[in-house]
Amino acid sequence: MIATSRRRFLAGAAAVTAAGFVPTRFAIGNQAPVKVGLMLPYTGVYAQLGENITSGLTMSLVGHGNRLGGRPIEYVKVDDESNPAKGVDNATKLVKGKEVDFVVGTVHSGVAMAMTKVMAKSPKAIMLCPNAGANALTREACLPNVFRTSFSNWQTGYSMGPVIAQRGHKRVVTLTWNYAAGQEMVSAFLDGFKAAGGGEPAEQLWVDFPDSEFQPVLTRIAALKPDAVFAFFSGSAAVKFLKDYDAAIDRTQIPLYGTGFLTEGVLAAVGKAAEGIVTTMHWAETLKSSENILFMGDFRKVAGRVADVFAVQGWDTGTLLYRAMDAVKGDTGATQAIIKAMEDAEVTGPRGVWRMSRNHNPIQDFYLRRVEKGQNLVEGVAVAQLEDPGTGCKM
């Protein structure tokens, strides 16, 4: 196995040299590692998301011999702190300073958009976004060397619109953090809600990111008595939000809905306060496919915890990486061929089947899920093979 990939790599390296590029290999048995930058939150409200993306990614690559196109892998980690103000500096450190071949990042939409400024000036490096849903990343700010393996914020919000409308809820309050992810999910939800006959929002409520002081907005919801609430919070703040909502609001009177992040990676900590919550998401831990069952078991063995959607996105980022690097036999200089392999990707994995859109964003199913006994149970498919419109992307 190793011998075969070495032979393939040697053939690739020779071609690269002949074409006049710097050889990526110094001597037999001494291959230069492929440098993979991990620009993710390892502290703060999204720390657990960063950890699970990292575990999913490394698990995927270890499963492929811990090599990319036959070459060893060197990871360079940066904690981006979910801080957009530091985004350009952190990405520059990795792409220019450390000269990484690939940069995997990140979770927060604002930080991801800062990263694209660096990627626009570094067309030889490739960015794989394993979470952040900023619509612009694969719309007006799309780039040939930027791919997303997760979702656009529009996809996650839009898929919830018909669900709430069809349940007959008319007066719906939206509640989220006041930054790109929350704003875009709410706006997309309202689009989907209106398209399904749902009408105008009763009120839009906002909390500053990354605050988790929810009493003022919960008091407002209790006073408004809407038919339902649509919310987005994530990470450690979602744990507190679900507990606070349950304590302050009678959920049989004012049910809570949201994008699936609300109930990802938090159910064990939240307990009963999450039971019955309905969300949409491009994955669920209870999907019965053999790929998902295998993934859940392996992740528990390797990471010692239950997988969540962030782990899945890390895993699929690994899938894209090793496939593209196999396609070029480890030649990181073959940027166009790497891009082509990623564009052609059709992945059958834990979330089901998805493929890369023209704008470099997954086209995928959004499942309807309800929390029961501490798990997101799948009730069906809310929207099949949903594609972000990609408006304004020219490439």
Query: Computed over its alpha carbons, how large is the radius of gyration of the chain?
Result: 21
Closer to ligand PHB by Cβ: residue 132 or 325:
132
What DSSP state is assigned to residue 54?
H
Report the residue from 128, 132, 186, 386 that binds ligand PHB according to the rule CB under 6 A.
132
Query: Interaction with ligand PHB in 136-155: which residues (CB under 6 A)?
Result: 153
Q: Quote the least distance from Cβ 130 to ligand PHB, whole Å.
A: 11
Binding range to ligand PHB, per CB under 6 A, among 56-64, 130-138, 289-297, 356-364 = 130-138
Residue with tokens 């020219």: 394
Is residue 42 within the footprint of ligand PHB (CB under 6 A)? no
Report the residue from 109, 135, 159, 183 that binds ligand PHB according to the rule CB under 6 A.
109
Closer to ligand PHB by Cβ: residue 60 or 234:
234
> 3-state DSSP helix/strand/coil percent for the chain, to nearest 5?
45, 25, 35
Report the residue from 9, 193, 261, 315 that binds ligand PHB according to the rule CB under 6 A.
261
Closer to ligand PHB by Cβ: residue 122 or 131:
131
For residues 213 to 252, the per-residue mask of contacts with ligand PHB, x marking binding by CB under 6 A and - elsewhere, is: ---------------------x------------------
Binding range to ligand PHB, per CB under 6 A, among 126-134, 219-227, 339-347, 375-383 = 126-134
Binding range to ligand PHB, per CB under 6 A, among 125-133, 280-288, 341-349, 384-392 = 125-133
Inter-residue contact 163 to 257 (CB < 8 Å): yes
Report the residue from 107, 126, 143, 239 that binds ligand PHB according to the rule CB under 6 A.
107
- Both structure tokens of 359: 């704008």
Inter-residue contact 75 to 98 (CB < 8 Å): no
Report the C-alpha gap between 135 and 147 in whole angstroms.
12
Is residue 332 within the footprint of ligand PHB (CB under 6 A)? no
Report the C-alpha gap between 346 and 254 in whole angstroms.
40
DSSP assignment of 80-137 equals -TT-GGGHHHHHHIIIIIS--SEEE--SSHHHHHHHHHHHHT-TTSEEEESS---GGG
Sign of CA dihedral 315, 318, 324, 325: negative
* Short-list 49, 40, 53, 199, CA closest to 105: 40
Does 210 sit behind a cis peptide bond, omega within 30 degrees of 0 on the bond before it? yes
Inter-residue contact 188 to 157 (CB < 8 Å): yes
Query: Interaction with ligand PHB in 158-187: which residues (CB under 6 A)?
Result: 181
Is residue 108 within the footprint of ligand PHB (CB under 6 A)? yes
Inter-residue contact 138 to 152 (CB < 8 Å): yes
Which amino acid, one-letter code, is at 160? M
Q: Quote the least distance from Cβ 88 to ligand PHB, whole Å.
A: 17
Closer to ligand PHB by Cβ: residue 9 or 367:
367
Report the residue from 70, 133, 349, 362 that binds ligand PHB according to the rule CB under 6 A.
133
Closer to ligand PHB by Cβ: residue 67 or 369:
369
Interface residue list for ligand PHB (CB under 6 A): 107-109, 131-134, 153, 181, 234, 261
